[in-house]
Amino acid sequence: MTDVAVDLARRIEGVLTAHPPETTDRLEFLRARFAAGLAWVHYPEGLGGLGLDARYQPDVDAVFAAAGAPDNRPHGNVIGLGMAAPTVLRYATPEQQQRWIPPLWTGEEIWCQLFSEPGAGSDLAAAGASARRDGDAWVVNGQKVWTSLAHDARWALLLVRTGPTLPKHQGLSYFVLDLTTPGVDVRSLRQLTGEAEFNEVFLDDVRVPDENRLGEIGEGWKVTQATLMNERVAIGGGAGTRESGPIGDVVRLWRESPQARRPENFDALLRLWTDAEALRLTGARLGQQLEVGAPGPEGSGLKLAFAELAQAAASLQLDLLGSEALRYDDWSLRRPDFSSPPDRVAGYWYLRNRANSIEGGTSEIMRNIISERVLGLPSEPRVDTDIPWKDLPK
């Protein structure tokens, strides 16, 4: 056993001894684990980590899980853990990091992302929500849309336009917004499944302190790119074990329901299983890049592959189930429970997975990124990159 492994084992034992999971309050335990540097060991000391290689984290998580320790309910704060934390770690001041990161990891404060707008989705650089300087604060007006978790969140990653006379990529700035601020109005958006998973958020003279800015004024696009690259790896690399993720339900159905097996579907199942395993292994490699703060454009390929796999797996599951797959009838308007992985019928997943090729960047945009930034192919002609944003057609 290496010196690092010995030290980690000692630290884990210390937390479990001082805070027995079966008798310790959940948040008290999570705070103790964070303070011991065992939240994410690759983060700096004092921010839940020990400055180690990210490869040690799965072993740490496994030991805590085997001991019956509570986790930080990652499904309920996917944007905070996968996108906000690495952005804050890279661009925030030490004081901001100490304020935001600990309650983010423990799940005491949920985060969301205020990027997309009704007129700026795939072309996010065209975002027009305005921010006007007023002393030591900025006054923000505009509308954001497709915002997951905004109804539960305390903090939001906010992209706004501070320089309307500059070209669209140059006139953006990036802030962290406290969603309890007056002027923030969160409204639900109902989906095909009946759920209100997403929201639209209206910002009416919302004051954001300049001290909540990440990056320099006008550098919002650079900070946004870091967030988006983390997002795509987080979406595409979520399946951590073999036969988890989209392929899991299909494989279990094939094994446990002989009546659902049809010879003509066997080749399709094998192809999907192989694709899922390739995706899992690629996700593990790119996930290590994410954890050390260095995600690259390759994450777009991961996200694209995940979307196609999830939709194909849902379609195959419906084929195997036949008429039984039509039993989904839960159309009541409701908020989903993000505290644990959703346990839904096949019909739900077939409908929900239609969004996989849109959310987190459309599959068309992912293909553009792969072709230009990974394969080095010529980019599409762009005629609006040097025109002031205010002069662009709206």
Percent of the chain with pLDDT over 90: 62
Which of these three, 55, 71, 87, is where a domain ends?
71
pLDDT for the residue 303: 87
pLDDT for the residue 102: 98
- Report the alpha-carbon distance of residue 126 to residue 147 in Å, rounded: 17
pLDDT for the residue 194: 85
Mean per-residue pLDDT for 353-375?
Answer: 88
How would you classify residue 183: left for phi > 0, otherwise alpha for psi between -120 and 50, otherwise beta? left
Percent of the chain with pLDDT over 70: 92
Summarize pLDDT for 188-219 with one digit per residue, the tens. Answer: 998 888 888 889 999 999 999 999 999 999 99
pLDDT for the residue 36: 98
Q: Which domain, by its residues, includes 49?
A: 1-71
pLDDT for the residue 339: 63
Mean per-residue pLDDT for 95-104?
Answer: 97
pLDDT for the residue 183: 98
Residue 151 lies in a domain: no
Summarize pLDDT for 112-156 with one digit per residue, the tens. Answer: 999 999 989 889 999 999 999 999 999 999 999 999 999 999 999
pLDDT at 239 over 70: no
Band the pLDDT of 232: cuts 50, 70, 90: low
The SS3 assignment for 360 reads: coil
pLDDT at 41 over 90: yes
3-state SS of 140-192?
EEEEEECCCCCCCCCEEEEEEECCCCCECCCCEEEEEEECCCCCEEEEEECCC
Which of these three, 12, 46, 71, is where a domain ends?
71
Of 141, 149, 275, nearest in space to 207 by CA: 141
Detail the DSSP E strand segments found in 23-73: none
Residue 135 lies in a domain: no
Which of these three, 34, 50, 71, is where a domain ends?
71
Residue 351 lies in a domain: yes
Mean pLDDT (the chain) is 90
Residue 283 lies in a domain: yes
CB 100 within 8 A of CB 34: no
pLDDT at 86 over 80: yes
pLDDT at 276 over 60: yes
Residue 168 lies in a domain: no
Residue 17 lies in a domain: yes
Domain count, the chain: 2
Question: Which of 136-140, 346-350, 351-355 tops mean pLDDT?
Answer: 136-140
Residue 301 lies in a domain: yes
- Report the alpha-carbon distance of residue 115 to residue 124 in Å, rounded: 7
- Report the alpha-carbon distance of residue 8 to residue 18 in Å, rounded: 15
Residue 359 lies in a domain: yes
pLDDT at 241 over 80: no
Buried b vs exposed e over 376-390: b needs ≥16 C-beta within 10 Å? eeeeeeeeeeeeebe
Mean per-residue pLDDT for 332-346?
Answer: 72
Q: Give the residue numbers marked as catalytic.
A: 231
Band the pLDDT of 95: cuts 50, 70, 90: very high
pLDDT for the residue 17: 98
pLDDT at 314 over 80: yes
Quote the pTM value.
Answer: 0.86
